[in-house]
Copies of this chain bind each other. A is one copy, B any other.
Amino acid sequence: MTSQLADQPGAPRSAPERGEGPGAGRALRAEGSPTRAVRVGGIEFGGGFVVIAGPCAVESAEQIELTASAVRAAGAHLLRGGAFKPRTSPYAFQGMGEPGLRLLCEAGRRHGLPVIAEVMEPAQIPLMLERVDVLQVGARNMQNFSLLRALGRMRRPVLLKRGLCATVEEWLLAAEYLLDGGNEQVILCERGIRTFAPEVRNTLDLSAVASAKLRSHLPVVVDPSHATGHRDLVIPMSLAAAACGADGLMLEVHPRPSQALCDGAQALTPVAFEELMRKLRPVLAAVGRELGAAALPTAAAQSG
């Protein structure tokens, strides 16, 4: 009966049996228990270290194909690429929409890469479910509770970005909206917080990664591209993330960053991405981890 009530947004609810607050939450790690892995195809978030890579926005068939091919060759596990883009201004490029989503998924399939894309509203969920392996909730939507409730009713992995000025507790409680609906496949993503510091787009808060890992059993990945906004800082921050216990990275890669329609300054070239992957391996080994196994090459990828 509780679950029925849960489906009615705003309905008065009694506190769950485990009590109120994050201390009692479903995201909470029991003392000594490990991170619970979230599986996407053959890949495990919370197992081997997972690398998500791709452009900020899907711009063309050629761009997404070049990117997918390059990041697959360098060892990425998932392909990212925005189709519906949340933009501060209504007059800025809003993404290609559904055609972009189709291009993303085709490129992913050709290269054996599961795909992740941002979902901005409940109405987009059915379309996303048909095509996308992981649904991303953007930082600006971290407390879009109706979106969270809707995704909590799904049984598809959700990557939940931390809000621009969300505390770790608020982030875990946002995850709780998903878990409370029965969707246990939640991946957290730290992407930098808004501070006074003017030299970076956001301030990457790696202590929040360590903190979230201590308190919760959810896997945590790091997006150093949005967090810094500067290509030069992406590699050092990626290595730092790996060293402090993150379960993966989410990176922007573009075949020609200077021509990117959005956020080009933070995108890695394919060459820099390959360099990062090479540097990542020994750091992971140093902390007793390793890169997750590559997704199995598909027939399409082999012939592509």
- Report which A residues bind B (CB closer than 8 A): 6, 8-13, 15-16, 20-22, 24-25, 83-98, 120-123, 140-141, 143-147, 164-165, 167-170, 173-174, 176-177, 180, 193-200, 203-211, 214, 227-228, 232-233, 236-237, 239-245, 279, 282-283, 285-287
Contacts and interface: CB of A to CB of B under 8 A. Distances in A.
B196 A207 contact: no
A194 B165 contact: yes
Contacts of A6: 90
A66 B142 CA distance: 36
Contacts of A123: 122, 146
Contacts of A144: 121, 140-141, 144
A127 B123 CA distance: 18
A210 B196 contact: no
8 contacts: A13-B94, A15-B91, A90-B177, A193-B203, A199-B211, A209-B236, A210-B236, A243-B283
A286 B282 CA distance: 5
A195 B198 contact: no
Nearest to A141: B144
A162 to B, nearest CB: 10
Contact of A197 (B89, B141, B193, B286): B193
Contacts of A207: 200, 203-204, 227-228, 233, 236-237
A65 B180 CA distance: 34
B173 A197 contact: no
A237 B211 contact: no
A64 to B, nearest CB: 15
